[in-house]
Amino acid sequence: MTLTLYLHFHPERLTNSTTIIKYKYKYIKKMISYQVLRCVCSFAVTKPAFQGRVISACGLKTSSVNHSDGQPYPGRAAASVVNYEQLKAMLANHSVQLFDVRNPDEFQAGRIPDSINIPLGQLEESLKLPQKPFELQFKVKAPLKEDDNIVFHCRSGNRSLSALAIAHRLGFIKARHYAGGYIDWEAHEKK
């Protein structure tokens, strides 16, 4: 690569007596450009992400990368998770707004008591509803952005984590999720 780079940056050193050499020079120039671009881009892509973006030195568009712990707000990981004992106490005190983000058929097959089914695909639209339409549709008090008793759950914790991200993005920053989901709930209840 040293020789080809040398030729690329010093074309006057090439002999221009035949068209074959000119053709080879153009070919070499294209190959060098490709190799340099590939090296620069692979170097840039291996750089660490900065606030979810890969900085590209060659101007190529890159995909967004999130190196946080999966939480919408890094540092809130522990505060955003509710365990079985906490959820059980909240349910006993009637101090929780529990939203099940599974599909309706999963909800009908088994559910945590007092949970309200809002499938993940409808969650954002539902949380944006004004208070009265929300209460008419779901037959419960509409959650407020400052409420600290909003908890999402699903089957195993993946969809509820997505629901948590949606809620945080919409301003429900004190919302939490039951990471164990219905699987964890059912396992504890069978003991």
Q: Quick check: is 154 catalytic?
A: yes
- Give every strand in the sheet of 150-153, ordered side by side: 81-82, 176-178, 150-153, 97-100, 116-117
Report the alpha-carbon distance of residue 168 to residue 162 in Å, rounded: 10
What dihedral do alpha carbons 34, 35, 41, 43 form, nearest 10°? 180
Active-site residue (options: 39, 41, 58, 154): 154
Contacts of 24 (CB under 8 A, 6+ apart): none
State CA 128 to chain mean position distance: 20
Report the alpha-carbon distance of residue 65 to residue 55 in Å, rounded: 11
The total of other beta-carbon atoms located within 10 Å of residue 176's CB is: 24
State CA 26 to chain mean position distance: 45
Catalytic center residues: 154
